[in-house]
Amino acid sequence: MNYTILIYEPQKEFAARKDPEWVRTFFPAWPAYTKALIEAGILVSGAGLEPPETATTVRLRDGKRLVQDGPYAEAKEQLGGYYIINVPSLDVALDWAAKCPAAPYGNIEVRPNLDPKACS
């Protein structure tokens, strides 16, 4: 079963990515976490996202394209990245979510993926 771990981070954590001290002291937790997922043989895919101010949103209404700068939801915390993992149960997915380096300062959402056959 595939689960997606969605990583929501507060604005100051996005800003910290540019801080050399953060890069030196905290960033190594991310490749270590990714490596643990790979070594457990459960990582399907994942990506880190640039900060919300780099986002653009698109809607089509009456055939017209409406493009706006900024992320879709004006929330205090924004999606910072995700991992898709293949594990047998939600409990195992939650265990991995709790180990994510952002869990102590952000919010991690865990959601089952749709059966890919349902979308094809």
- Least separation in angstroms between residue 48's CB and another protein is 4
Whole-angstrom distance, CA of residue 93 vs CA of residue 47: 17
**Residue 73 contacts another protein per CB under 8 A:** yes
Tokens of 30: 């991310």
Member of 26, 71, 86, 92 binding another protein (CB under 8 A): 71
Member of 19, 36, 50, 89 binding another protein (CB under 8 A): 50
Four-point Cα dihedral 80, 84, 87, 90, nearest 10: 50
Whole-angstrom distance, CA of residue 19 vs CA of residue 11: 13
- Least separation in angstroms between residue 67's CB and another protein is 6
**Residue 118 contacts another protein per CB under 8 A:** yes
